[in-house]
Amino acid sequence: MTPHVYPLDGTVEHTRADIGGKAFSVNEMRRLGLPVPPAFVLPTAECAQYRNAGNTLGAEAWDQIVAAIGELESATGRQFGRGPSPLLVSVRSGAAESMPGMMDTVLNLGLNDELVTALTAESGDEAWAVDTWHRFRESYATIVAGDPGAEPPADPWQQLRTAIGAVFQSWDSTRAVAYRHRHGMENLSGTAVTVQAMVFGNRDADSGTGVLFSRNPSTGAAEPTGDWLARAQGEEVVSGARTPETLEAFAVAHEELHQELLRVSSLVEHELRDMADIEFTVESGRLYVLQSRVGKRSPAAAVRIAVDLVHEGTIERAEAVERMSGEHAARLADTNAIDASAPVIASGTGIGTGIASGIAVTDLDEAEDRAASGVDVVLVRGMTAPDDVPTMFQSVAVVTETGGPTSHAALVCREIGLPCVVGCGEGTISALVGKLVTVDGTSGLIYEGVSGTGTASIDPNLAEFLSYLSWPVPAEHPLAPLAHLAPTMGVAR
């Protein structure tokens, strides 16, 4: 029998290419004994099989999914599709290479009116059960049905079948295709689908969700940083729908859990040999880790982290050079700085990138039309959504009213070195739209007019990094944009 499903219990070694980055991290963290909810995965090869079969799950694959749900039931002591203790699951995407936010995820799957009643009776908390049901209905309507007014089927098994299909189909979404094209990922075969037992950051006042980076993704400093939202689920942090608190707020509210999270962070970074990005949830005072991966970082952070890892003996100089992207190199080669006398008209949290000037535009179609005609556009949004990504790629900078350093906008912009300021507050759109502005992605300040007239100071970490390269660098080399900086830093070419 062909295996269509693999359990993620850490007992069998898999590759990222076979099961996708998300499932790979779950499997590895289970191997390390970390507190990860049980899960199984449909591998990346199943995506092509699903598409070749006319967007249909085969009978053999479905039988294995049903059996795997049985294993989740045994691991959790709960029952899928029935009471008195309903099992709810998440259905998550995950390609071999990280594509944050580009494909779909469905949370809280497995409820209907009858099971909401069972969940209420079991928990004694009707408000939480109803809130979870509302979240699922909204997610299913938008992601699976593609109709905000649609209701999910009453049968949880039908919910699961259609949600798995929707995640596979999101591989071909406009945003996912644009992302792969931008990052040269056309060789990837498809997304895996991970089905995982739900834990609930919205459960009670002693619950919440967050993202931790083992190092600062904006500056590269060797200090854990991240976001935390009490009584919330993970999508609220990464979507930028709400502006979160800092990891320090989590440490104050949950000192022991914070220490445990730091232990997890150190362990995962050691395994990755790089800065770790860890998604976690606290349910009623218990810590769970949902995902880990190599974290996206700003160009400046990429340099500092690479140099620090060399000093720490984690990687060699040649690997440090290989890790630097061409887009980051191009940003690092730009040494323009802000004229500090320019008027500041908005501010938020900068994600550690450079500066850019353009016309502030909020409408996606208008932004794309202006960019196509050669106008530099600063995209200003309440928050960015994955569907905004193609427009973000055509903009010179991004500004949002809500969200934090681990939000969707921050992750996407940090990866490509696009200046970005998040969490500027309500009213930012009306204050900026139509104006010529300059966005400083490092300081988090937004200036009126064109303000990039100074020259930035030279980062000593960049000088050391340049000494790792073998000069002369060929013109076609991804790091060639840095060549003109070498003489100014005393690096022999």
Q: Mean pLDDT, to the nearest integer, of 303-328? A: 96
Q: Which of 280, 283, 304 is nearest to 293 (CA)?
A: 280
Q: Which of 281, 260, 278, 258 is nearest to 268 (CA)?
A: 278
Q: How far apart are CA 18 and CA 42, in angstroms?
A: 9
1 has a pLDDT exceeding 80:
no
Cβ(303)–Cβ(459) under 8 Å?
yes
Cβ(379)–Cβ(367) under 8 Å?
yes
Q: How confident is the model at residue 452 (pLDDT cuts 50, 70, 90)?
A: low
Q: Mean pLDDT, to the nearest integer, of 63-88? A: 98
Q: How far apart are CA 416 and CA 418, in angstroms?
A: 6
309 has a pLDDT exceeding 80:
yes
Q: Mean pLDDT, to the nearest integer, of 455-483? A: 86
Q: How confident is the model at residue 82 (pLDDT cuts 50, 70, 90)?
A: very high
Q: Which domains does the chain have, with CATH numbers?
A: 1-198 (3.30.1490.20), 200-297 (3.30.470.20), 299-333+457-489 (no CATH), 336-455 (3.50.30.10)
Q: How confident is the model at residue 51 (pLDDT cuts 50, 70, 90)?
A: very high
94 has a pLDDT exceeding 80:
yes
Q: What is the pLDDT of residues 408-428, one digit of tens each?
A: 888 889 888 899 999 999 999
Check residue 239 and give its pLDDT. Answer: 76
More confident residue, 451 or 147: 147
Q: What is the pLDDT of residues 326-371, one digit of tens each?
A: 989 988 887 777 777 789 999 999 988 889 999 999 999 999 999 9
Q: Mean pLDDT, to the nearest integer, of 233-237? A: 84
Check residue 262 and give its pLDDT. Answer: 97
Q: How confident is the model at residue 187 (pLDDT cuts 50, 70, 90)?
A: confident
- For the chain, how big is the Rg over CA atoms in Å? 23
186 has a pLDDT exceeding 90:
no
Cβ(100)–Cβ(386) under 8 Å?
no
Q: Which of 308, 377, 339, 349 is nearest to 444 (CA)?
A: 349
Q: Mean pLDDT, to the nearest integer, of 146-150? A: 92
Least confident range of 24-33, 65-74, 322-331, 478-487: 478-487
- Helices marked H in 2-148 — which ranges? 16-31, 44-52, 59-76, 113-123, 126-139
Check residue 105 and give its pLDDT. Answer: 92
- Mean pLDDT across the chain: 92
Q: How confident is the model at residue 491 (pLDDT cuts 50, 70, 90)?
A: low
Q: What is the greatest pairwise CA distance in the chain? A: 73
Check residue 183 and give its pLDDT. Answer: 85
454 has a pLDDT exceeding 90:
no
Q: What is the pLDDT of residues 253-299, one digit of tens each?
A: 999 999 999 999 999 999 999 999 999 999 999 999 999 999 999 99
Q: How confident is the model at residue 490 (pLDDT cuts 50, 70, 90)?
A: low
More confident residue, 224 or 486: 224
Least confident range of 2-16, 110-124, 176-190: 176-190
403 has a pLDDT exceeding 80:
yes
- β-bridge mates for residue 278, sequence order: 212, 292
55 has a pLDDT exceeding 70:
yes
Check residue 344 and give its pLDDT. Answer: 94
Q: Mean pLDDT, to the nearest integer, of 295-317? A: 96
Q: How confident is the model at residue 471 (pLDDT cuts 50, 70, 90)?
A: confident
Q: Mean pLDDT, to the nearest integer, of 3-24? A: 96
Global confidence as pTM? 0.89
Q: Which of 80-89, 176-185, 323-332, 352-361 has the highest mean pLDDT?
A: 80-89
More confident residue, 473 or 22: 22
- 3 upstream amide cis, omega within 30 of 0: no
